[in-house]
A and B are shown apart, each in its own frame.
Chain A
């Protein structure tokens, strides 16, 4: 738990990070967090490894699809798989996630049909999954807005009496994921206020990937981001976000605090976005290849791979099966996205309101009639019917 005054070089320091798996794949002890990772046997670690590999495959496929013109935009999660997968593994089915638009790893762990995430980026719909199915809310593109939704949702959980019952199947926590840039938004500060004064069962999980588009975290903060939360009365922790074991352990502790009635926790997962902010920007304009190389050596998947190999927990047959699964997954993503089709223009009038609305109904009727005016008596669209 970090309550200390930050180091002089501000948020770029990696001092004081909780780490259980070093960049060279060594499992190291930690007096507070070891017990929260004690249940990670070979099977669990292999499951995390698989989830990270598949998340990266998904991300790479989506990036390629964007380059091929199949997606309008893509927000890569490359390099951030450990924070997402580790924290995701700490969740229980009844927990509810309010993600940023980069939490593909969490979505994967929660069991979403991953191609549904791409519907938004292809322009087929604004959010292609039911948040109730896996406790995974829609992506929110206005940075930080959803930290308040998560906090309010957690206040609802509290009112539902699903905190501190002692029943692991009932006690519920809420997680909001957001980036370092979001911490500069007023809504995130307001979320910290509301979470604190209500002791809401919410975990505020900041993925500090060190860039808000092109701006380094030092343009958002003069202190480590986790240092802010104690000022709101919220305990915080900085974790090595490229360490899936530590990400799991700190999140598990924070979730347990929330579920048991101990209130909110702020987690700063210190990581690095290896790709661009989105496929629209050019990271070579704002960072160096030396910096990228430094972080490439701290790759989250590679360090777990080395650890599993070293401990004899990564048999070749598993690797081969995973490679085949990953290839099939990639093929599924490509074919599914290309087959998504074109929504009917009439759907733009659907769901504006939950109850009938005279204005929308009239506009829908007009549009239908207008469209019909381009159809001839044989039901064919006439030449003048371009939109």
Chain B
């Protein structure tokens, strides 16, 4: 065999045009573009940050989230990897041990499972088992959730599997603005972060302040741990995250027309759970519905419901209800809207809690 002294490089294509200047000010952007700019800023700010994944280079990712970054930062920083998820995460662990900050892209939610071993047995606990000597600032970006008419394994909601694993932080933005900020916070975090991108929201636009510094409410640019009340209300608290925040806001709009005031809490972080923000809301409203796309059984909603019951029992006017997917494999695209918790299912749960 021939062994070259340099790594093989992709030099057979003409050079890409120079990247556009980094935009400034507040812009209305789709979430995918906001993520792209967040990644771009992180790459520009820290030469030890690098992206790795399948098709993220010249193609710019199957959702184009990494569009243009290969041309700007080169193949050492935006790495097209072999088609091997365990290899992506496993080598990212090694790179992190060497002082790099890898951001791995898993192409679709259903393909994270070959890497599940590396994430749960290695990535999540190396800090712990080394008594804090080793840090693994690795981000695993996963487009997740349904609603885009995809085929099997392209629409899954595995958040509870990761949230159940100590050592991982699990977050999901619901807006373009949060996507821009939170991806940078995730990369800055010294802990491994499972960064769940609601793929059905990639093309939804929102205002993004591109000049805003990373929020540091507790003095740390890595503080990711806060839920947010995104719509105040007085009758029922609806807890949502990622793709279901938009559903919750629509439900609140519809319920308002019927005279019901829904408060919507966007969890933003699934692990650790910001119980305080949710509990404060439930103490105001006395009622709570949790909504997510993942199956209800053993899901995030169960954890929220249990904690709210423990903390707010005497404030509750009704049991905490859960709305989500069924205990079935994710169904085929033609009936996925019957599986996903939509406006009607959510409003039905709101009505049930008000009927107690």
What residues of chain A have their CB less than 8 Å away from a CB belonging to chain B?
3, 125-127, 130-132, 137-138, 140, 142, 145, 147-160, 164, 186-187, 190-191, 193-194, 197-199, 230, 233, 235, 257, 260-263, 350-360
Is B4 in the interface zone, CB < 8 Å from A? yes
Whole-angstrom CA separation of A198 from B225 in the bound complex: 37
CB distance from B170 to the nearest CB of A (A): 12
Which A residue sits closest to B5, measured CB to CB?
A261
CB distance from A232 to the nearest CB of B (A): 10
Interface string of B113-145 (1 = CB under 8 A from A): 010011001100111111111110000000000
CB distance from B119 to the nearest CB of A (A): 11
Whole-angstrom CA separation of A4 from B16 in the bound complex: 43
Residue of B90, B97, B127, B218 near A353 (CB, 8 A) is B127
Whole-angstrom CA separation of A356 from B218 in the bound complex: 10
Residue of B87, B99, B118, B191 near A354 (CB, 8 A) is B191
Q: A148-B90, A152-B97, A353-B169 are in contact. List 6 more A-B contacts (CB 8 A).
A: A147-B90, A152-B90, A194-B87, A354-B127, A358-B225, A358-B272
The 6 closest A-B pairs by CB, nearest first: A152-B94, A148-B90, A156-B98, A152-B91, A126-B129, A190-B87
CB distance from B206 to the nearest CB of A (A): 27
A147, A155, A199, A230, most chain B CB atoms within 10 A: A155
Is B6 in the interface zone, CB < 8 Å from A? yes
B130 and A159 within 8 A (CB): no
Which A residue sits closest to B80, measured CB to CB?
A197
Interface string of B189-223 (1 = CB under 8 A from A): 11100000000000000000000000000101011
B129 and A355 within 8 A (CB): no
Chain A residues within an 8 Å CB radius of B99 = 156
A190 and B6 within 8 A (CB): no
Which A residue sits closest to B4, measured CB to CB?
A199
Interface size class, chain B: 35 or more
B84 and A193 within 8 A (CB): yes
Interface string of B89-109 (1 = CB under 8 A from A): 111111111111010000000
CB distance from A233 to the nearest CB of B (A): 6
Whole-angstrom CA separation of A155 from B76 in the bound complex: 10
Chain B residues within an 8 Å CB radius of A126 = 125, 128-130
What residues of chain B have their CB less than 8 Å away from a CB belonging to chain A?
1, 3-8, 50, 76, 81-82, 84, 86-87, 89-100, 102, 114, 117-118, 121-122, 125-135, 166-167, 169, 189-191, 218, 220, 222-223, 225, 271-276
Whole-angstrom CA separation of A233 from B95 in the bound complex: 22
B91 and A194 within 8 A (CB): yes
CB distance from B184 to the nearest CB of A (A): 15
Residue of B122, B132, B166, B276 near A142 (CB, 8 A) is B122
A159 and B82 within 8 A (CB): no
Whole-angstrom CA separation of A145 from B86 in the bound complex: 9
Chain A residues within an 8 Å CB radius of B271 = 359
Number of A-B contacts (CB under 8 A): 168
Chain A residues within an 8 Å CB radius of B96 = 152
Chain A residues within an 8 Å CB radius of B220 = 355
Residue of B89, B117, B134, B189 near A355 (CB, 8 A) is B189
Whole-angstrom CA separation of A193 from B88 in the bound complex: 11
Which B residue sits closest to A231, measured CB to CB?
B1
Contact flag A155-B94 (CB < 8 Å), given A194-B84, A351-B127, A355-B222? yes
CB distance from B100 to the nearest CB of A (A): 5
Chain B residues within an 8 Å CB radius of A138 = 126, 129-130, 134
Chain B residues within an 8 Å CB radius of A199 = 3-4, 6-8
Whole-angstrom CA separation of A158 from B84 in the bound complex: 21
Residue of B5, B87, B126 near A193 (CB, 8 A) is B87
Residue of B4, B82, B94 near A153 (CB, 8 A) is B94
Chain B residues within an 8 Å CB radius of A197 = 7-8, 82
CB distance from A367 to the nearest CB of B (A): 15
Contact flag A262-B5 (CB < 8 Å), given A148-B86, A187-B90, A354-B190? yes
B94 and A355 within 8 A (CB): no
B167 and A352 within 8 A (CB): yes
Whole-angstrom CA separation of A156 from B134 in the bound complex: 15
A142 and B87 within 8 A (CB): no
A125, A140, A149, most chain B CB atoms within 10 A: A149
B82 and A193 within 8 A (CB): yes
Chain A residues within an 8 Å CB radius of B89 = 148
Residue of B76, B100, B122 near A140 (CB, 8 A) is B122
Whole-angstrom CA separation of A352 from B125 in the bound complex: 7
CB distance from B91 to the nearest CB of A (A): 3
A355 and B93 within 8 A (CB): no
A152 and B7 within 8 A (CB): no
Whole-angstrom CA separation of A69 from B333 in the bound complex: 58
B133 and A190 within 8 A (CB): no
Which A residue sits closest to B102, measured CB to CB?
A152
Which B residue sits closest to A359, measured CB to CB?
B272
Whole-angstrom CA separation of A173 from B175 in the bound complex: 44
Chain A residues within an 8 Å CB radius of B81 = 194
B7 and A145 within 8 A (CB): no
Whole-angstrom CA separation of A132 from B225 in the bound complex: 31
Whole-angstrom CA separation of A260 from B4 in the bound complex: 11
Which A residue sits closest to B114, measured CB to CB?
A186
